[in-house]
Structure 1
Amino acid sequence: MDFSYTPKVRELQRRVSAFMDEYIYPNEHRYHEEVEAHRAQGNPWQPTRVMEELKEKARAQGLWNLFLPESKYGAGLTNLEYAPLCEIMGRSHIAPEAFNCSAPDTGNMETLVRYGNEAQQREWLQPLLEGKIRSAFAMTEPAVASSDATNIEARVERDGDHYVINARKWWTSGAPDPRCEILIFMGKTDPDNPSRHSQQSMILVPMKTPGVKMERPLTVFGYDHAPHGHGEVSFENVRVPVGNVLLGEGRGFEIAQGRLGPGRIHHCMRLIGLAERALELMCRRALERHAFGRAVADHGVTRERIANARILIDQARFLVLNAAHMMDTAGNKVAKKEIAMIKVAAPSMACQVIDWAIQVHGGAGVSGDFPLAAAYASARTLRFADGPDEVHRNQIGKMELERYLTLPKR
């Protein structure tokens, strides 16, 4: 299997890397300073000037909406071609948004492309593609184990030409962001359907609809990730037109499977970039610092960890490329095992590599002076996002066992 990059992809790698060097890395501190200035004024939940400037520059250079395979709205790249570009973006937490390639907007845009009708695309997809608004995905609930999506209790009842929604959601990424104008909401329209996977629907809910309330932003290991963040949102007698349903009633679980596949692999692509940056910081720190009479890099334990980090990163990268290849050639549904495998492997790999990098940095590694503590919090969270490790391992194990129900005994 040939995973070598085409000339087109290599040129895009060069351009994205150059943009990162010229604009992204130098502005990371400015971004943080702007957020903290807003916080000092009492409201960190507002857009930053630096991000809007970066978005304008990236769009002007044609480095915009690089995802969306098989769509007239994207850059014409396959998942396999997008993977190395997404990896580069993953090296900085501010980069994906600058290229309009950040979660949850990418997953929501793919959902609207795949399952939205013309009116829905015109109203919500177009401004998302232009980076004018942001969005959120409201699925997880605090009262139930949402790793089993059939547990979702959100009620969606038909009342004439409207749906009436009553629910409480959390980990609704992007909900605290004032630019968030649309939610993709998952809830039960037919809770008595004998098929547990046909009880749910996905509905477009404008954030400003009466009854939608952003209850509170949630923290991740103490980080609130302002100005985007993650929110707990309540829905009290929220009325939206029946025309806001995506694809049709009872098809929410089907849409979720189609939406989460690309979202999961994008997370993994970015995690590889994050781990690469952690390894780079670890190597530079090990070469610069001395302990017990020699460079930290000359200690055997350090070299062993650097070697293992390189092995783990490259293993994860090849798994990602294989999953991307399967998605491109066989489809997301057929590639579900490969997607599940990388969703388990990449976050665990990143957590381990970042942990080793923190050790090499000593006390500085857990401070805010380096990006490692925040990187670890992000990577660790992704062992839950889009399904916890346990769910994916169970799915992988089930699919592996099914092979032996048909294979002849040897």
Structure 2
Amino acid sequence: MDFAFDARTEELRARLLAFMDEHVYPAEQVAHEQRARLSSPWENPPVVEELKEEARRQGLWNLFLPDAEYGAGLTNLQYAPLAEITGRSPQLAPTATNCAAPDTGNMEVLAQFGDERQKKQWLEPLLAGEIRSAFAMTEPDVASSDATNITTHIRREGDEYVITGRKWYISGAMHPDCTIFIVMGKTDPDGPDIRRQQSMVLVPRDTPGVTVKRAMQVFGYEDHYHGGHAEVVFDEARVPVSNLIGEEGGGFAIAQARLGPGRIHHCMRLIGMAERAIELMCRRAVSREAFGKALAQQGVVQNWIADARVTVEQLRLLVLKTAWMMDTVGNRGAHTEIQAIKIATPRTVVGILDRAIQLHGAGGVSQDFPLAELYAGARTLMLADGPDEVHQRSLARREIKKYL
């Protein structure tokens, strides 16, 4: 078994690591200071735009998209170590390289299911980083862990679809450059097949009847760099029938196609977050002394660091195996592995970050270190793209089925 990365991956890793050291990490404090002076909290600090220009100049752009016509043409296995690197600075690096959710998933949907007009109007400016987008699926009034529960209604009237419903935690919707929503709702709410009731439509943000009501916080954070998370109301919002993505009744299948890559991308970046936490733990441990000796000499601290290294190495191998399977047998063939990493990675990284916070004492929960914000992001991923329990249920049923 060969665990080495291929030549193209190694070359991109070297360039991306240098980009992080030379540009991204130094920009973290600059961005924090610039944001405090902005007139709107949702604007990008100027240094973010500088990072984007530099990433484009270096060819570190749209690395996530396997379609060579639109993106870098990398396989999941090639992209995995690159996404891990960007995960070390999740607020800046994914945005700087145009590899940030939810735009990544939306670009994948448009590339795979959009027609030529939709690609020209929305995909091309997204690929260029000229606009941002949002994916409107989750609803506050139903258990959205079961996507068939959604109640947003999309009814056809002549040459238009009329959308009515309420969504929340719609990532990216607060960003001033967010100009398009991909909205999932029911075009056939009484249809006999509950997985064919849903459709997806493109809804421009400035459509009459679309109201972004408020920003939703996550553990008190607003996730400014990714455009925040919003509650959005659709009140008889009308769009042309040509804004349908794919076919009527295809929304559920499109959502599953979108979420597969999204889940593994999150897990790739989570490993980078864990690596950043381990680095911070080690630096803290060798620089602080308590009860007459360095923290690095305290047995409990050594155990935390050792356990973190072991679990990260385990997770990385599982994520790489999953990426390889997605490349060789497709998302459906890798369904068990995708669910396994979605279950294992966030909870494990949350544990590592928790120990890192503990090691930093009061500093760990402060704004002076990235740990608290990293923790909030990792903990949220135990809910995002399907809560752990849903994946556990599905995976267990698949395992049990072998013995029936």
The TM-score range, normalised by the shorter chain, is over 0.9
- Aligned residues with identical type, % of pairs: 59
Choose which of 40, 52, 55 in structure 1 pairs with 2:52. 55
1:31 and 1:70 mapped to 2: Cα distance? 32
Report the alpha carbon displacement of residue 47 of structure 1 after superposing the two structures with TM. Answer: 2.6
For 1:352, the equivalent position in structure 2 comes to 351
Report the alpha carbon displacement of residue 386 of structure 1 after superposing the two structures with TM. Answer: 0.4
8 Å contact kept, 1:70–1:78: no
- Tell me if 1:25 matches 2:22: no
2:250 and 2:23 mapped to 1: Cα distance? 42
Report the alpha carbon displacement of residue 191 of structure 1 after superposing the two structures with TM. Answer: 0.4
1:2 and 1:185 mapped to 2: Cα distance? 42
Report the alpha carbon displacement of residue 272 of structure 1 after superposing the two structures with TM. Answer: 0.3
8 Å contact kept, 1:218–1:229: yes
Q: Which moved more, 1:215-224 or 1:62-71?
A: 62-71
For 2:205, the equivalent position in structure 1 comes to 207
For 1:220, the equivalent position in structure 2 comes to 218
Partner SS state of residue 69, structure 1: coil
Q: What amino acid does structure 2 have at the position aligned with 1:13? A: R
For 1:395, the equivalent position in structure 2 comes to 394
TM-score with structure 2 setting the length: 0.98
Which aligned runs of 4 or more in structure 1 are off by greater than 3 angstroms? Answer: none
Report the alpha carbon displacement of residue 71 of structure 1 after superposing the two structures with TM. Answer: 3.6
Report the alpha carbon displacement of residue 245 of structure 1 after superposing the two structures with TM. Answer: 0.7
Report the alpha carbon displacement of residue 226 of structure 1 after superposing the two structures with TM. Answer: 2.0
2:144 and 2:73 mapped to 1: Cα distance? 34
- Tell me if 1:297 matches 2:274: no
Report the alpha carbon displacement of residue 122 of structure 1 after superposing the two structures with TM. Answer: 0.6
8 Å contact kept, 1:83–1:321: yes
For 1:143, the equivalent position in structure 2 comes to 141
2:46 and 2:298 mapped to 1: Cα distance? 44
Structure 2 gap ranges (5+): none
Q: What amino acid does structure 2 have at the position aligned with 1:61? A: Q
1:345 and 1:95 mapped to 2: Cα distance? 24
Structure 1 gap ranges (5+): 406-410
TM-score with structure 1 setting the length: 0.97
Aligned length in residues:
402
Q: Which deviations, in whole Å up to 9, do the C-alpha atoms of 1:354-383 show, x marking residues without a partner?
A: 111111111111111110011100100010
Choose which of 38, 47, 72 in structure 1 pairs with 2:69. 72
- Tell me if 1:329 matches 2:342: no
8 Å contact kept, 2:87–2:272: yes
For 1:6, the equivalent position in structure 2 comes to 6
State the Cα RMSD in Å: 0.9
Q: Which deviations, in whole Å up to 9, do the C-alpha atoms of 1:138-167 show, x marking residues without a partner?
A: 000000000000000000110000000001
1:35 and 1:211 mapped to 2: Cα distance? 31
Report the alpha carbon displacement of residue 172 of structure 1 after superposing the two structures with TM. Answer: 0.4
8 Å contact kept, 1:3–1:321: no
2:42 and 2:22 mapped to 1: Cα distance? 27
8 Å contact kept, 2:67–2:73: yes
1:335 and 1:2 mapped to 2: Cα distance? 20
Q: Which deviations, in whole Å up to 9, do the C-alpha atoms of 1:196-224 show, x marking residues without a partner?
A: 00000011111111111100001111111
For 2:110, the equivalent position in structure 1 comes to 112
8 Å contact kept, 2:68–2:74: no
8 Å contact kept, 2:131–2:178: yes
For 1:265, the equivalent position in structure 2 comes to 264
8 Å contact kept, 2:267–2:346: yes
1:146 and 1:319 mapped to 2: Cα distance? 28
